[in-house]
């Protein structure tokens, strides 16, 4: 899978570890920064990863900041992105099954959870169930089409 990843300074250590883990698992990684632990602004990286996913340059995106909240708020401003902040395996499983989330937002505190690799793997591997959930996604997509512009439009 082609995965775009990004973090701010707070998420840098976990993002760097996940890049290695995902490359070793055979994924193609686009690391869109940040590139060191100096203070920076999470929306810049959320938009870069979100736009890569929305444009089809990446199949999925993974973002890390202090809480994961800022990254999920910013990424969800990009039309076509369905970013989900996941703290548990159940979150990861359900957001793939029901929301077809295409961006995973993580808190740097997840680095302390021994199951964070399993959480990421679960999110990558779990299929969308479709059916009645597709109807709900279609509602989001229709709302975006009415109200959101793509960059440059």
Query: Is 98 tagged catalytic?
Result: yes
In the set 9, 27, 98, 133, the catalytic residue is 98
Candidates 37, 43, 44, 66; binder of ligand RB5 (CB under 6 A) is 66
For 89-142, give the DSSP string. Answer: HHHHHHHHHHH---EEEEEGGGGG-TTHHHHHHHHHHPPP--THHHHHHHHHHH
Query: Is 86 tagged catalytic?
Result: no
d(CA 85, CA 64): 10
Residue 101 as a binder of ligand RB5 (CB under 6 A): the answer is no
CB 70 within 8 A of CB 43: yes
x/- mask, ligand RB5, residues 69-88, rule CB under 6 A, reads xx------------------
Which residue, 67 or 122, has its beta carbon nearer to ligand RB5?
Answer: 67
Active-site residue numbers?
65, 98
């Amino acid at each position: 899978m082609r995965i775009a990843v990004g973090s701010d300074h707070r998420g840098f250590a976990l993002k760097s570890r996940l890049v290695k883990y995902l490359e070793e698992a055979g994924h193609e990684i686009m690391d869109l920064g940040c590139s060191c632990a100096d203070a920076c602004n999470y929306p810049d990286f959320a938009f870069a990863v979100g736009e890569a996913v929305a444009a089809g340059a990446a199949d999925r995106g993974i973002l890390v900041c202090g809480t994961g909240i800022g990254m999920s708020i910013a990424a969800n401003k990009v039309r076509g992105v369905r970013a989900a902040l996941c703290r548990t395996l159940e979150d990861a499983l359900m957001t793939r099954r029901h929301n077809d989330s295409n961006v995973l937002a993580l808190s740097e505190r997840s680095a302390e959870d021994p199951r964070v690799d399993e959480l990421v793997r679960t999110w990558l591997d779990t299929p969308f169930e479709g059916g009645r959930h597709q109807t709900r996604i279609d509602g989001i997509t229709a709302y975006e089409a009415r109200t959101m512009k793509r960059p440059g439009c």
